[in-house]
Structure 1
Amino acid sequence: MNKPSAIVVGVGAEQGLGGALCRRFAAEGYHVIVAGRTLAKIAKVSDAITASGGSAEAVETDATDEGAAVSLFENAFAPREGIDPPDLVVFNAGINRNIAFREVSAAQFEEFWRVCCLGGFLVGREAARHLAPLGRGTVIFTGASASLRGKAGFAQFASAKAGLRMISQSMAREFGPLGIHVAHTIIDGGIDGERLRMGRPGAVAAMGENGLLHIDAIADTYWHIHRQHPSAWTQEIDLRPFKESF
């Protein structure tokens, strides 16, 4: 039997959400295409999966580049011995930092939009182009608290994430009837991963046990979304630690 396959776009550190998603899907018997901008990081994720008996490949990709996005999907959906075309696509790329509104440059604003919104559009479009003729598949976009509300210092991030949310809704309405499940996850809280632990160790300690979202727990939810029965699909779900106010 052929292996099913998945594409995860926006993989960074091994102990990050992208890496956890790749490991979760591989554990379910999937061949995982590990896509990200930094080859050393995605190769580490891919190598760890194959070392543990799973199936994965690292593909260096800039999701904000249209040609790169097209190439990623063309190669992933090309006939390959022992591997079925992908039926699961995740867009997980993101960039975030606090910048006072009066100090945000046009270049910075565009950078946030390109990574968080344009990249999602390109990945979503290519996923739809390849999945629609097959009449099946799941596309999941990683969102954030900022998808719903803009906080002081985060206008550049919130505007891009809100745009990504609208892309997911429009896709869900257009492609759901064609058999493609499109979902958007709102990650409402800090993620217990390498980025936060390295960048803000004090904040991590202050949150205490289970005060941050565990990457493997988030990955479990993504897998659940993919396996949902078509009579009860989730279009949007929010995830937060039990300590998080909302």
Structure 2
Amino acid sequence: MQRATIAACVYDRSLDSDPFERDIMSDIPYRSALIIGAGPGISASLTRRLRAANIPVVIAARRVDKLASLVDETGAIALPVDASDAGEIDALFAETDARIGAPEIVIYNASGRARGPIAELDPVEVERAVAVSALGAFYTVQQAAKRMVPAGHGAILLTGATAGVKGFALSAPFAMGKFALRGLAQSAARELSPKGIHVAHFVIDGAVRADRSDASGTPDSTLDPEAIAQSYIDVLRQHRSAWSWEMELRPWVEKF
């Protein structure tokens, strides 16, 4: 597991009396994690890093059979969920509470897509896509807040995309969902940060490899999921006096 480099940073020693100073030097100041929308790529890399830090992790997806190898590798707990269903998100959090305790890290990676010309899109498919990307994220943030606000501690990380900053042709439902996700993150950060909950949104501006070996001969043109996971971990390590609410990640060859 790579570690963030902090030796070059200079910190005000007046923080010595601050009980949160431990956040500066500790690996990850949280004790349990729930990842929704788990699969290969970002979620798998995050699961490996969190488990390497001895943090219990629940990974949730519609099809848990696809998570079997990751469970075998990391010892994470896989649970089924339809992220677009508020009742299933509620049940997922309740089961997570029972398995590992209330999650102190909640990561939402689920998203829905429906591609095609606007005049030809099926409204039912559009509703489903937006429900997964946006409503599922709201249900998740709501359940996380119910647990984290009383504790005054926690982190909620939301995985966005280029489409949350600019909408592309033939991809209106994805843009709708990701724009809503970004708005949710910004609003939640303003409401929850003063209550001790770190909310951060990640703009993944480019294609992500399914795994580290999938570079297709052009490794600089796609995002390495391990590198993305490292950025998430770095945000989790941030001291509360300098929290980020948003981070953009892109390959260095990607055009802005």
Tell me the TM-score normalised to structure 2 length: 0.83
The equivalent position to 1:227 in structure 2, one of 213, 237, 252, is 237
Q: Are positions 1:158 and 2:175 aligned together?
A: yes
Could you say which residue in structure 2 is the equivalent of 1:126? Answer: 143
Could you say which residue in structure 2 is the equivalent of 1:99? Answer: 116
Could you say which residue in structure 2 is the equivalent of 1:242? Answer: 252
Q: Kindly report which structure 2 residues correspond to 1:71-82, keeping only aligned pairs within 5 A, or say none.
A: 71-78=91-98
Is the partner of 1:186 in helix, strand or coil? strand
The equivalent position to 1:90 in structure 2, one of 99, 107, 122, is 107
* CA drift at 1:84: 5.0
Distance 1:167 1:209 in 2: 33
Is the partner of 1:8 in helix, strand or coil? strand
Distance 2:108 2:58 in 1: 12
Render the CA deviation track for 1:139-176: whole Å, top value 9, x for unaligned. Answer: 00000000011111111110110001111111111111
Q: Kindly report which structure 2 residues correspond to 1:80-229, keeping only aligned pairs within 5 A, or say none.
A: 83=100, 85-96=102-113, 98-193=115-210, 205=216, 208-229=218-239
Give unmatched runs, 5+ long, in structure 1: 51-55, 198-203
Distance 2:178 2:193 in 1: 22
Q: Tell me how large the CA RMSD over aligned residues is.
A: 1.7
More strand by share: 1
Could you say which residue in structure 1 is the equivalent of 2:7? Answer: none
Q: Kindly report which structure 2 residues correspond to 1:1-16, keeping only aligned pairs within 5 A, or say none.
A: 4-12=31-39, 15-16=40-41
The equivalent position to 1:57 in structure 2, one of 68, 77, 83, is 77
Distance 2:191 2:252 in 1: 34
Q: Is the Cα–Cα contact under 8 Å of residues 112 and 131 in structure 2 kept in the other structure? A: no
Which amino acid counterpart does residue 226 of structure 2 have in structure 1? D
* Runs of 4+ residues over 3 Å off in structure 1: none
Distance 2:93 2:180 in 1: 22
* CA drift at 1:97: 5.2
Is the partner of 1:191 in helix, strand or coil? coil
Give unmatched runs, 5+ long, in structure 2: 1-29
Could you say which residue in structure 2 is the equivalent of 1:40? Answer: 65
**Bigger Rg over Cα:** 2
Distance 1:223 1:109 in 2: 33
Which amino acid counterpart does residue 230 of structure 1 have in structure 2? R
* CA drift at 1:129: 0.6
Distance 1:95 1:213 in 2: 20
* CA drift at 1:211: 1.1
Distance 1:149 1:105 in 2: 22
Distance 2:123 2:219 in 1: 39
Tell me the TM-score normalised to structure 1 length: 0.87
Distance 1:18 1:110 in 2: 25
